Structure 1
Amino acid sequence: MRRKLIFAALMAALPAMAAEVVGYYPGWKHESFPVTAANVDAGKLTMALYAFVDLCWDGKHGNPEPSVDYVAACQEPLNGALAWRDEAADGANLRKLVALKRGHPKFKVVISVGGWDWSNRFSNVAASAEARANFIASSVQAMRRYGLDGIDLDWEYPGEAGVPCVAGEVCARPEDRHNFIVLVRELRAAFDAAGKQDRKHYSITIAAGANGNYVGNGAWVKELAAHLDWINIMAYDYHMPWEKSTGHHSALFADAKDPVTANQFYASGSVQRYLRAGVAADKLVLGVPFYGYGWKGCAAGPEGDGQYQLCQGGVTDGINGGNSYGYHQLLKKGKDYQRYWNASAKAPYMYSAAEQVWITYEDPASLKEKARYITQQGLRGAMFWELSADDGEHQLLRTLSEAMRK
């Protein structure tokens, strides 16, 4: 008994593992949103994910979208090798990010491979032993060249490509999940070997889907997680502006009024899906959005707040003329916009009866609720998309960082 008490006292005296606060840096915005200590607050982040790096195939950047003519040649024309958007600019950005570690040694810099637009060669790479070897060698080389701390795999999605293939190409296979496990297992072995030589740990994380289709029966994600540092769950986009009715895109909990509630299509439901699959809580990081979506032509409805009401489509005054808003844009909305709070979902929303516009988004109040949930569940931390969407005072990052530290 005395030995147990001594052990418990020793464990209580040890500092708790700091919760992760992981933020994406959008590399393609480096001219309007440069890497500076003001834009990337390394004191409030534990990791910056540099988005995005592509995969080379047949000497070109990935498989282009049907609507985008992007066929630039790879810098390293081997199937599976990393393909940079602009290697000179990307390299300069990465070195600036790494330089922020001088004052913040616990801050990590990682490259994120894939993303929505650039995931459509993962299936080919993962299916080929030669391409996997090229990818791994290219990744280790990048770690050492730029002084990076790891790699984040944003494959969207194994078995079901988000961006359709061009004619005659293959972007998804039934074996994708198995091949993903093989790729990550081989990458883990190579990173451990390289880390032993370099006297550092190279991390491997993934961005993972939040719905049941991605997790499946759960066995594959449990096996995959064994070779990962953690999984970043993309717990947002549960509702999108192309839907006919308004809905919360990052609700924390269920709302009986929301028709997707039955599918556990909300953040806590996604977390529980992974926990039921057998993934350890400390290998799960909850993703949160620093952006919102807007619908137009929305009737006020019986509550006068536009919630769950039919609309005429997405707004067009958001980012790049689209239907999404950065948090900095939402703060500039006029007096016609009133903030509301869904107590069941723990989610804020805005509505303008005059303009008939309804907006779903994240704010400091909802971030505190998610930080509380992360702590209660023993999760690894929080991830967000993305740094440039916050306001000039870093309200969302500051709130998230302070809440996670508590």
Structure 2
Amino acid sequence: MSTKLAAILGLMFVPVSVPAQGSHVESKPAVIGYVFPQNTILKPTDIDGHSLTRINYAFANIQGGRMVAGFSHDAENLAVLTTLRGANPSLKILVSVGGWLWSGGFSDVALTPQSRAVFIASVDDFLTRYDLDGLDIDWEYPGMTGAGHVFRSEDKANFTLLLKELRADFGRKQKRGGRRMILSIAAGASDEFLAHTEMREVQKYLDTVNLMSYDYYEPEGDKITGHHAPLFTNPADPKKISADASVLAFEAAGVPAAKIVLGVPFYGHVWGRVADKNHGLYQPGQPIPNAYSPYSVIVDEMKTGEFERFWDPAASEPYLYNAGKQIFVTYDDPESISAKCSFVLKQRLGGVMFWDYAGDPSGTLLGTINKQLGRATAAGKAVQ
């Protein structure tokens, strides 16, 4: 990971699956935000806890087979986040472990009953110490190298066993009078991820599958430009990819729609040296400095007047092109976020998640999500 209308459509959000093995399906769409402060210290005013149902704090690390704090101020930051539950008791605070750079320990952790037991005990200690509501597993990726990590063919079955044993452990603690713990994963939106996992079985132990339906195109790995988070597949797209196609693939793999949470990006990707053909879309390009660009930076760049915004009706996605500098930008904005929220409600998915909160300090995109999902504020009024 580098960071995702009821009133409008007149639809009621109804779960379409029955919880299994201790998992739980929410009756209303979730709004899940990944918070990634790294080595900075959060203030309570940095996060709008009323506009979220769940915060996934990123990232805990794995060392010596145990889950450990990842950054120097995790204790202070988690304390800040848990205080937000005072004003919004329905808010859940989770820790996400792993991520693109810190998934190297998962294959070893999941390998044997003994290694899984050690890891799960460390999870229990961590969640108790910081008064958290659950765990998000961000293994990138089982059975695949990811960012150069150790991987094994056994990862496929061991991923299932790790989640099954985590759910059983959470269930035992709940029966002994503890709170119900949430268990989720961040899932790669690709056929490769599905080929290396047993999602029909895995989903039984999860509350949500947070689908990373972004980064379909990235300057570092793709020699042509493209939408990095298209809602629908543009017939002209050489890769033929989209969030819609990924959702269908996960459903076909056995994941109920109500457990799939659609990921949206609060950032974009930038290519340089892109010729002015089709306004730069699906054209050869090259990575440039700061190719990963937060939404707030993209908005500021648009104010210069050097970029023209275009809308791809087939993909339901915007893009920018600077003809003078030959720069192409793929990103999400309020129009595309609104379309994705409409899709979530129409398909009766589990909700929306986004990476990451810091990408839009203005709250424009989060406000759009809440408005389009028809969520209410603490005062009981629809978010405007």
TM-score by length of 1: 0.83
Per the alignment, residue 328 of structure 1 pairs with: 296
- From 159, 163, 173, the counterpart of 1:184: 163
Amino acid at match of 1:340: F
Distance 1:172 1:96, change over 3 A: same
SS at match of 1:248: coil
SS at match of 1:153: strand
- From 42, 55, 58, the counterpart of 1:48: 55
Per the alignment, residue 323 of structure 2 pairs with: 353
Amino acid at match of 1:331: V
Q: How does 1:57-206 map to 2 (within 5 A)?
A: 57=64, 80-86=65-71, 89-165=73-149, 171-206=150-185
Structure 1 distance, partners of 2:43, 2:82, is 10
- From 248, 258, 272, the counterpart of 1:296: 272
Larger radius of gyration: 1
Amino acid at match of 1:385: W
- CA RMSD, 1 decimal: 1.5
TM-score by length of 2: 0.88
Structure 2 distance, partners of 1:256, 1:250, is 15
Q: How does 1:367-382 map to 2 (within 5 A)?
A: 367-382=337-352
Q: Deviations over 1:97-133 (max 9, x none)?
A: 0000000001110000000001011001100222211
Distance 1:86 1:324, change over 3 A: closer
1:254 matches 2:233: yes
Distance 1:217 1:96, change over 3 A: closer
Per the alignment, residue 219 of structure 2 pairs with: 241
Question: In the TM superposition, what is the alpha-carbon distance from 1:85 to its structure 2 partner?
Answer: 2.2
Structure 1 distance, partners of 2:177, 2:280, is 56
Contact 2:156–2:196 under 8 Å retained in 1: no
Amino acid at match of 1:85: G
Q: Deviations over 1:142-200 (max 9, x none)?
A: 222211000000000000020114xxxxx111010100111111111111111233442
Structure 2 distance, partners of 1:361, 1:378, is 24
SS at match of 1:43: helix
Question: In the TM superposition, what is the alpha-carbon distance from 1:259 to its structure 2 partner?
Answer: 0.4
| Worse-matched range after superposition: 127-136 or 247-256 | 127-136
Amino acid at match of 1:293: H
Question: In the TM superposition, what is the alpha-carbon distance from 1:29 to its structure 2 partner?
Answer: 4.7
Question: In the TM superposition, what is the alpha-carbon distance from 1:260 to its structure 2 partner?
Answer: 0.6
SS at match of 1:91: helix
Structure 1 distance, partners of 2:71, 2:265, is 26
1:396 matches 2:372: no
Structure 1 distance, partners of 2:153, 2:139, is 15
- From 287, 291, 302, the counterpart of 2:263: 287
Question: In the TM superposition, what is the alpha-carbon distance from 1:217 to its structure 2 partner?
Answer: 8.5
SS at match of 2:110: helix
SS at match of 2:293: strand
Structure 1 distance, partners of 2:200, 2:227, is 29
- From 236, 250, 254, the counterpart of 1:278: 254
SS at match of 2:352: strand
Per the alignment, residue 9 of structure 2 pairs with: none
Structure 2 distance, partners of 1:55, 1:253, is 36
- From 28, 37, 46, the counterpart of 1:18: 28
Contact 2:39–2:71 under 8 Å retained in 1: no
Structure 1 distance, partners of 2:337, 2:329, is 17
Q: Deviations over 1:277-307 (max 9, x none)?
A: 1211111111111000001111111x4x111
Per the alignment, residue 18 of structure 2 pairs with: none
Contact 1:251–1:346 under 8 Å retained in 2: yes
Contact 2:160–2:201 under 8 Å retained in 1: yes
SS at match of 1:49: strand
Amino acid at match of 1:83: V
Structure 2 distance, partners of 1:199, 1:402, is 34
Amino acid at match of 2:257: A
SS at match of 2:176: helix
Structure 2 distance, partners of 1:163, 1:397, is 30
Structure 2 distance, partners of 1:199, 1:28, is 30
SS at match of 2:247: helix
Contact 1:27–1:52 under 8 Å retained in 2: no
SS at match of 2:271: strand
Amino acid at match of 1:212: D
Provide runs of 4+ in structure 1 moved above 3 Å.
none
Structure with the greater relative contact order (CA < 8 A, sep ≥ 6): 1 or 2?
2
Contact 1:255–1:345 under 8 Å retained in 2: yes
